[in-house]
A and B are shown apart, each in its own frame.
Chain A
Amino acid sequence: MLLITCPYCGPRPEIEFAHGGEAHIARPQDPSSLGVEDWTEFLYMRANPKGVHAERWRHLHGCARFFNALRDTTTDQFVATYKTGEPRPDLTAVTA
């Protein structure tokens, strides 16, 4: 069971959370103005990387808030968690 650090509540077991798919995919301001390609890209296309993945989690059985996390999909280790609306942490800056 993963140990996930909610940016509001601190480290909690995975059973308190719900996964919310890839992060930083903002809903377009005016969807109706988008062409088919752009809308398809927003709706269906996901990165699915091998390595560090920015993803949404919700602390469903805690503060109930959504937040974002960087998780390495090859090791299941979390690199960082951060609040919704904050930019994706720059890992090169973290490790430097």
Chain B
Amino acid sequence: MSGSFRTGIGGRIRRERTVRFRFDGVTYAGVEGDTLASALLANGVHLMGRSFKYHRPRGVLGAGADEPNALVEVIRDAGRTVPNLRATQVELYNGLEARSQNRWPSLAFDVGAINNLMAPFIPAGFYYKTFMWPRKAWDALYEPVIRAAAGLGHAPTDPDPDSYLNRYAHCEVLVVGAGPTGLSAALTAARGGGRVMLVDEQCEPGGSLLSEPDVRIDGLSTRDWIARTVAELNANPRVTILSRATAFGYFAHNMIAVNERLSEHQADPVPGAPRERLWQIRAGEVVIAAGAHERPLVFPDNDRPGILLAGAARTYLNRYGVLPGRRVVIATGHDEAYRTAIDLSRAGVEVAVIADLRPRPTGPLVELARALGLPIRTGCAITGSKGGRRVTSARLSAILGAGKLGPPDEIACDAVLMSGGYTPSVHLFSQSRGKLRWDEALSAFLPDVSAERERSAGACRGVFSLEAALADGATAGAAAAGVAPPTPLRTTAVDAEPAGVIGAVPHDRGPGARAFVDWQNDVTSKDLKLAVREGFQSVEHVKRYTTNGMATDQGKTSNINALGVLADELKRPVEKIGLTTFRMPYTPVTFGVLAGMARGDLFDPVRTTPIHGWAVDQGAVFEDVSLWKRARYFPQGGEDMEAAVRRECVAVRNACGIFDASTLGKIEVVGRDAAEFMNRFYINAWTKLGIGRCRYGVLCREDGFVMDDGVVGRIAADRFHVTTTTGGAPRVLNMMEDYLQTEWPELDVWFTSTTEEWAVIALQGPKARDILAGLVEGIDLSQEALPHMALTEGQICGVPTRLFRVSFSGELGFEINVPASHGRRVWEAVWAAGQPHGLTAYGTETMHVLRAEKGFIIVGQETDGTATPDDVGLAWAVGKAKPDYVGKRSLARPSMSAPDRKQLVGLLTESPETVLQEGAQIVASLGLKAPMPVIGHVTSSYYSAVLGRSIALAMVSGGRAKMGETLYSPAGSGDVPVKVVGPVFYDPEGARLNV
């Protein structure tokens, strides 16, 4: 097929502005205003893709969002390749490079088309039935091969270089769709004075009017009426119109997600300018004016290139100035196709025949076609077509009644334009959880009961006539804005009978004929019938078995015809079968726009301490602890982690280490009832804790299990400095607020998160006091004045400090709290003062080893949400005399003190070099076969340099009664014998703490 199919006049294109583009490597010319599909059609190219399963050659079917066939990849570069775009919605620009999908090596010659010859052997559920055995072959062989043969487009290979924006908006009235109904609704709603937003997926407002050049509205041409309406809306500062903006999701409480494409249509997007914008619009009222989708006819061979929807053909003619062919057959069960026939005939296209399924079609459009002398065959079914990469003829048969057809007649043509009628687009309404009802007269599901503050108007609720739709939009807009509806507009439109046909067209072609219901998924009427015969009754099951209505078009053209076929086969009315769920997005949305700015460093907040920069300068290796970056170890001279940790551990034990503990959660608990609150909240007793003293606090949930821990210092009678685990601070603060606000509102106490107010410098080791001595003012560091678990306030390096004498290492230790803004300076001063004493920086890994040597637990490592204080050896912390605290009643349950509970113990391997795996299971005896009774698990396991051997902590059932026993840890290399010991491996008397 060659030569130009562009008309000489008409359409909303600029013929003088030539646009060059490439499709599958061939250069073509289009014009400004074209879509990729219209430009290809203008060049006589109908073949635009290969079908998903059978690799059948496919042409464009529609002209908009419902297109199932013409899916293309648009390529700018390796990071800007967008697959699965509908050629009908790709706006042409100079230099556009597009590629067809799902074919190899080329669109015209596709090896995969062998599937088409195999089709009799690939019925519905073929893959489910065939590739079942052996199971292992599925992952290794079947799935990769099937996916390679069947997939849609390819994802880009490079990271997306573009930026995407996210915007929230609020309005009183949101109108979705800027066709005649939506424009009318927005215009009326704007008169209410509130904020009105009008969003539309196309490049300009107008919707179906863009394909209606000849109708007059209110005395104006459609072009002028659109211009006047848009100008009035734009003049109103309270109105926002978004074009190229698809409302793709209707979320709870009138939150509508809109994807606005900003630069996709530009030949040379401004570098760095955003590509798309996600709008999240919260609307007081929503008017859905989403229009309708034309239904194809389900007849044998209905998928050849050159067979398209009649309304789409009319759009190509009237909007883009493109002829779908030179001699066309119109196959229809609906009046609208007559409009196409009339317009094409006037444009010089030969209408070979209008084949109408209906026995006696009447109405003004039918009469107009008759008056023009167009050949009409009524009661006539299209029962087939011929042609390779383009249809060459249509097969027509008279419907004789009682399932009989007359002898077939072959009509030569280069295009078949079909219409079964229009299906209201109820996607957004259904997403809003509104209930649909079946309208028998329209053969359509229509919006019935709303779940949100929304109303549908126009074709999407079955109001198809232009004049009625304009009035319906005005009424809806008026109701949404609370104003009186305006006088209805008059038009010159000729109305079509709204009813059409659904289901399969009768044919006499025998069982081998394939009549496609879902073009995108290659589902035929035969497949649907087979599914019913195999026992599938529910429409949701049939959908999943046959894949009807899946993938990018979400059944826009296929759902209702599939229902018609199912209703016939199940002998049940359509409304008893029901529709499958409409899912968002309405059309595919890029991951880029959903991610927005939340990529890379902005994906998740990163928290760093005031000392972070110093650690970076020292070459620390970091680990993520909740959102924090924590220095894990400080390698020197090419050390690996193991070597660095051994060096750091020995330095702390023998001299002194410095550790950044700023990430510890900190909450200031203040008020007359602060002690009373602490008493009720933590398991410990607090009322007798002296000012200037600290206590290790343990927090349980109401169910008695350990939730958090940390040192708490009493600053004043009414003031506690509470520390929590690094990740636990938000949870603990939330729980404090919960109990205070909802259980004990009578308490006079309040909580302030101070985590980021304090930098915390832990100085641990026998030389700690010597290092600190020269830096503090007004603080007596002596054992007598500031013993272990005491705190004091004073100055360090001229900065106020809360100095805690605490130790998580088992050594003489201080935790220096200074205001965060002074953290780095004080740290560096301490670092400098410590150099003569061998001060060594250490990270979280060494901190873990040191505390494990002392048997100190880490909440979340030794505990797992099912450990009581006693389970982890903290029964001593419980304030037993207290009448109540959070968790006390639960801890009194008999099962909480059962002797076989898992208890914290230490484990020593026979070989001092063997380091157990953390998380490894513990069993009671050798040589057990899986599944074997497991009595515990390893929670912490390290090599201890100072002890010269491995150590481990474990939770073992009845562990404290098993001291000295040998248990086993099954490992890949065989069972590892372990001896149960106490959990404190180093300085069990605590002599090193009290110096």
A residues adjacent to B (C-beta < 8 A): 1-3, 13, 18, 20, 26-27, 30-32, 34, 36, 39, 43, 56, 58, 60, 64-66, 75-77, 84-85
Q: A43-B890, A75-B451, A85-B745 are in contact. Are A1 and B738 (CB under 8 A)?
A: no
Chain B residues numbered 724-765 whose CB sits less than 8 Å from any CB in chain A: 734, 737-739, 741-743, 745
A43's contact among B252, B703, B737, by CB below 8 Å, is which? B703
Q: Does B714 contact A (CB under 8 A)?
A: no
Complex Cα–Cα for A34 and B893 (A): 11
Chain A residue numbers with a CB within 8 Å of B703 are 43
- Are B737 and A58 in touch, CB under 8 angstroms? yes
- Are B892 and A27 in touch, CB under 8 angstroms? no
Complex Cα–Cα for A39 and B893 (A): 10
- Are B252 and A76 in touch, CB under 8 angstroms? yes
Chain A min CB distance to B780 (Å): 40
- Are A32 and B252 in touch, CB under 8 angstroms? no
- Are B889 and A31 in touch, CB under 8 angstroms? yes
Which residue of chain A has the shortest Cβ distance to B703 in the bound complex? A43
Chain A residue numbers with a CB within 8 Å of B889 are 31-32, 34, 39
Chain A residue numbers with a CB within 8 Å of B254 are 3
Q: A66-B742, A84-B741, A85-B745 are in contact. Are A18 and B734 (CB under 8 A)?
A: yes
- Are A58 and B734 in touch, CB under 8 angstroms? yes
- Are A66 and B888 in touch, CB under 8 angstroms? no
Chain A min CB distance to B174 (Å): 14
Complex Cα–Cα for A32 and B218 (A): 80
Chain A residue numbers with a CB within 8 Å of B676 are none
Chain A residue numbers with a CB within 8 Å of B253 are 1-3, 76-77
- Are B738 and A20 in touch, CB under 8 angstroms? yes
- Are A66 and B741 in touch, CB under 8 angstroms? yes
Chain B residue numbers with a CB within 8 Å of A66 are 737-738, 741-742
Chain B residue numbers with a CB within 8 Å of A65 are 741
Chain B residue numbers with a CB within 8 Å of A3 are 252-255, 282
Chain B residue numbers with a CB within 8 Å of A1 are 251-253, 255, 280
Q: Does B702 contact A (CB under 8 A)?
A: yes
Q: Which of B253, B742, B890 has the most chain A CB atoms closer than 10 A to its own CB?
A: B742
Chain B residues numbered 887-921 whose CB sits less than 8 Å from any CB in chain A: 888-890, 892-893
Which residue of chain B has the shortest Cβ distance to A34 in the bound complex? B889
Chain A residue numbers with a CB within 8 Å of B739 are 27
Chain A residue numbers with a CB within 8 Å of B433 are 75
- Are B741 and A31 in touch, CB under 8 angstroms? no
9 sampled A-B residue pairs with Cβ under 8 A: A1-B253, A3-B252, A18-B734, A32-B883, A32-B888, A39-B889, A43-B703, A64-B737, A65-B741
B residues adjacent to A (C-beta < 8 A): 251-255, 280, 282, 433, 451, 702-703, 734, 737-739, 741-743, 745, 883-884, 888-890, 892-893
Chain A residue numbers with a CB within 8 Å of B734 are 18, 58, 60
Complex Cα–Cα for A79 and B893 (A): 39
Chain A residue numbers with a CB within 8 Å of B883 are 30, 32
Chain A min CB distance to B839 (Å): 41
Chain A residue numbers with a CB within 8 Å of B745 are 84-85
Chain B min CB distance to A29 (Å): 9
Complex Cα–Cα for A85 and B703 (A): 24
The 8 A-B residue pairs with the shortest CB-CB distance, nearest first, are A31-B889, A3-B253, A66-B741, A27-B743, A76-B252, A1-B255, A2-B252, A84-B742
Q: A34-B889, A36-B893 are in contact. Are A43 and B741 (CB under 8 A)?
A: no
Chain B residue numbers with a CB within 8 Å of A77 are 253, 451
Chain B residue numbers with a CB within 8 Å of A20 are 738
Which residue of chain A has the shortest Cβ distance to B889 in the bound complex? A31
Complex Cα–Cα for A20 and B739 (A): 12
Chain B residue numbers with a CB within 8 Å of A84 are 741-742, 745
Which residue of chain A has the shortest Cβ distance to B894 in the bound complex? A36
Chain B residue numbers with a CB within 8 Å of A76 are 252-253
Chain A min CB distance to B886 (Å): 9
Chain A residue numbers with a CB within 8 Å of B251 are 1
Complex Cα–Cα for A28 and B280 (A): 44
- Are A32 and B738 in touch, CB under 8 angstroms? no
User: How many A-B pairs fall under 8 Å by CB?
Assistant: 58
Complex Cα–Cα for A7 and B498 (A): 50
Complex Cα–Cα for A70 and B908 (A): 56
Chain A residue numbers with a CB within 8 Å of B742 are 56, 66, 84
Complex Cα–Cα for A58 and B737 (A): 10
Complex Cα–Cα for A34 and B734 (A): 26
Chain B min CB distance to A31 (Å): 4
Which residue of chain B has the shortest Cβ distance to A20 in the bound complex? B738
Chain A min CB distance to B257 (Å): 10
Chain A residue numbers with a CB within 8 Å of B282 are 3, 13
- Are A32 and B890 in touch, CB under 8 angstroms? no
Chain A min CB distance to B102 (Å): 37
Chain B min CB distance to A42 (Å): 9
Q: A43-B703, A75-B433 are in contact. Are A32 and B255 (CB under 8 A)?
A: no
Which residue of chain B has the shortest Cβ distance to A13 in the bound complex? B282
Which residue of chain B has the shortest Cβ distance to A21 in the bound complex? B738
Which residue of chain B has the shortest Cβ distance to A4 in the bound complex? B253
Q: A1-B280, A18-B734, A27-B743 are in contact. Are A32 and B884 (CB under 8 A)?
A: yes
Complex Cα–Cα for A4 and B253 (A): 9
Complex Cα–Cα for A85 and B746 (A): 12
Chain B min CB distance to A38 (Å): 10
Complex Cα–Cα for A76 and B432 (A): 11
- Are A31 and B884 in touch, CB under 8 angstroms? yes
Q: Which of B702, B889, B890 has the most chain A CB atoms closer than 10 A to its own CB?
A: B889
Complex Cα–Cα for A2 and B452 (A): 12
Chain A residue numbers with a CB within 8 Å of B741 are 65-66, 84
- Are A26 and B743 in touch, CB under 8 angstroms? yes
Complex Cα–Cα for A60 and B433 (A): 29
Chain B min CB distance to A81 (Å): 13
Chain B min CB distance to A27 (Å): 5
Complex Cα–Cα for A27 and B892 (A): 16
Chain A min CB distance to B450 (Å): 11
Which residue of chain A has the shortest Cβ distance to B740 in the bound complex? A66
Q: A84-B741, A85-B745 are in contact. Are A43 and B702 (CB under 8 A)?
A: yes
Complex Cα–Cα for A75 and B451 (A): 8
Chain A residue numbers with a CB within 8 Å of B451 are 75, 77
Chain B min CB distance to A86 (Å): 12
Chain B min CB distance to A7 (Å): 13
Complex Cα–Cα for A43 and B451 (A): 35
Complex Cα–Cα for A20 and B734 (A): 10
Chain A residue numbers with a CB within 8 Å of B252 are 1-3, 76
Q: A1-B251, A39-B890 are in contact. Are A30 and B737 (CB under 8 A)?
A: no
Chain A residue numbers with a CB within 8 Å of B280 are 1
Which residue of chain B has the shortest Cβ distance to A18 in the bound complex? B734
Complex Cα–Cα for A34 and B738 (A): 22
Which residue of chain A has the shortest Cβ distance to B730 in the bound complex? A60
- Are B892 and A32 in touch, CB under 8 angstroms? yes
Chain A min CB distance to B528 (Å): 32
Chain A residue numbers with a CB within 8 Å of B892 are 32
Complex Cα–Cα for A11 and B756 (A): 30
Complex Cα–Cα for A64 and B738 (A): 10
Chain B min CB distance to A88 (Å): 14
Complex Cα–Cα for A54 and B993 (A): 52
- Known contacts A2-B252, A3-B282; 5 additional CB pairs below 8 A are A31-B889, A39-B890, A65-B741, A75-B433, A84-B745
Chain A min CB distance to B729 (Å): 14
Complex Cα–Cα for A1 and B253 (A): 7
Which residue of chain A has the shortest Cβ distance to B733 in the bound complex? A64
Complex Cα–Cα for A39 and B255 (A): 41
Chain B residue numbers with a CB within 8 Å of A31 are 884, 888-889
Which residue of chain B has the shortest Cβ distance to A30 in the bound complex? B884
Complex Cα–Cα for A56 and B737 (A): 13
Chain B min CB distance to A64 (Å): 7
Complex Cα–Cα for A3 and B452 (A): 12
Which residue of chain B has the shortest Cβ distance to A31 in the bound complex? B889
Chain A residue numbers with a CB within 8 Å of B255 are 1, 3
Chain B min CB distance to A84 (Å): 5
Chain B residue numbers with a CB within 8 Å of A36 are 893
